[in-house]
Amino acid sequence: MSAVSLERGKAAPVAVWVWAAGLIALAVIAPFFFYPVFLMKALCMALFACAFNLLLGYAGLLSFGHAAFFGSASYIAAHAAKMWGLTPELAILAGVTVAAALGFVFGSLAIRRQGIYFAMVTLALEDGIQAVPRGYLFGIIDLNQTMVMYYFVLAVFLFGFGLIVRAIYSPFGQVLKAIRENEPRAISLGYRTEQYKLLAFVLSAALAGLAGSTKALVFQFASLTDVDWTMSGEVVLMTLVGGIGTILGPVVGAFLLTTMENYLAQAGSYVTTIEGAIFVLCVLTFREGIVGVVAPYAMGRRARPEPPPEEVQVEEHDVEKLRQAAGEGG
């Protein structure tokens, strides 16, 4: 739960297990109190956001085209379930495979550009997918009972989430963090950073595909609107609001934004405006995100959380010093 406590290499404190057990229990009883379809949608978005956060928060790569994996997997899974009559698990597998393959292609192109370019490349790549013929499909699933479906989705989410947590604390995850902090140094230590980044990209794409495929089965519907770049923006926003580089942050952000969209459904295009305003406010005042701020307190310690990935350049420090020396306000 707390990125802080675990990243220091200590065993997970009791608080983490208490929180984990509490949250899982909450998820198990939640459908009796809330609309299950809403919960399933939120779980899918949460998994999507966690997959995205694996790339942004831990490898420091901002992919602005992640909806491509989410949306195309969703489309493929729906197609496989309806046209080929595959069972749900095989349909999801088909979606995940396609997303991973796409992730490999996009990833091998995108990692050729670093930092800020990366975002532009992934964004532009995503638009290329729109050449796929438009249309929608209805997937027919065995899991017709809503409650059965809910626990299926919950299981998928926990599987994906567990995989991400496992990856983050594995040696692989540590190398990713090393790359995020200082890539030249990671290279000089002998790591083939390109391969690590590509693997992270493929893993993230596959998990986004898992989320997308599951969503297609939940709604029995998949359209290419899920590939739209506003969808990519949404997942960025969820991660930002919840806390970039925190484990639970994307989940919190996803539930919050899905709830908000539900309540603001009548507001029409103002939803876009509100989302934009949240973006701006978060960037200006709330960069640590909800979990980034709350986690230290929830863990019973007041330690400051690890700051989000920041590339501080020496020159920029100098600018600040100069600015202070000159005695003028920023």
Partner 1 sequence: MFDWLPIAVPPAPLFFAQLLVGLINGAFYAMLSLGLAVIFGLLNIINFTHGAQYMLGAFSAWFLLNWLGIGYWPALIIAPIAVGILGIAIERFLLRRIARLDHLYGLLLTFGLALIIEGIFRQQYGSSGQPYTIPPELQGARNLGFMFLPNYRAWVIVASLAVCLATWFVIERTRLGAYLRAATENPVLVRAFGIDVPRMVTLTYGGGVALAALAGVMAAPIYQVSPLMGSNIIIVVFAVVVIGGMGSILGAIVSGFGLGLIEGLTKVFYPEASSTVIFVIMALVLLVKPAGLFGRTA
Identity of the residue, 30 or 278, whose beta carbon is nearer to partner 1 in the bound complex: 278
| Shortest distance (Å) from residue 119 CB to partner 1 | 6
151 vs 279, beta carbon nearer partner 1: 279
Beta carbon nearer to partner 1, 160 or 253: 253
Beta-bridge mates of residue 137: 222
* CB 236 to partner 1: min, Å: 7
Shortest reach from residue 91's CB to partner 1, in Å: 27
The whole-angstrom distance between residue 265's C-alpha and the CA centroid of its chain comes to 23
Q: Which residues contact 245 (CB under 8 A, 6 or more apart)?
A: 3, 53, 56, 57, 58, 292, 306, 308, 309
Cβ 283 to partner 1 shortest distance, Å: 4
Q: Contact residues for partner 1 (CB under 8 A)?
A: 62, 64, 109-110, 112-113, 115-117, 119-121, 123-125, 127-128, 130-131, 229-230, 233, 236, 240, 268-280, 282-284, 287, 308-312, 315-316, 318-320, 322, 330
What is d(CA 104, CA 197) in angstroms, rounded to the nearest whole number? 11
Which stretches of the chain are DSSP H helices? 3-7, 14-29, 36-53, 59, 67-82, 88-110, 115-128, 146-169, 171-181, 183-188, 193-219, 229-242, 249-263, 270-285, 289-298, 314-326
Report the nearest approach of partner 1 to the CB of residue 122 (Å).
Answer: 10
Q: Exposure pattern of 214-245 as b/e (b: 16+ CB <10 Å)?
A: bbbbbbbebbbebbbbebbbbbbbbbbbbbbb
Tokens of 89: 């698990």
According to DSSP, residue 136 is labeled E
Query: How far, in Å, CA of 14 to CA of 22, rounded?
Result: 12
Residue type, 121: V
Residue 292 contacts residue 249 (beta carbons within 8 Å): yes
In the complex, the smallest distance separating the C-beta of residue 176 from partner 1, rounded to whole angstroms, is 16
Q: Choose among 180, 167, 210: nearest CA to 118.
A: 180
Question: Is the CB of 143 or the CB of 287 nearer to partner 1?
Answer: 287
Nearer to partner 1, 109 or 140 (CB): 109
Q: How far is the CB of 110 from partner 1 (least distance, A)?
A: 8
- In this complex, which beta carbon is closest to partner 1, that of residue 292 or of residue 308? 308
Q: Residue 144 Cβ, how far from partner 1 at the closest point, in Å?
A: 36
44 vs 119 by CB, closer to partner 1: 119
Q: Judged by CB, which is closer to partner 1: 142, or 318?
A: 318
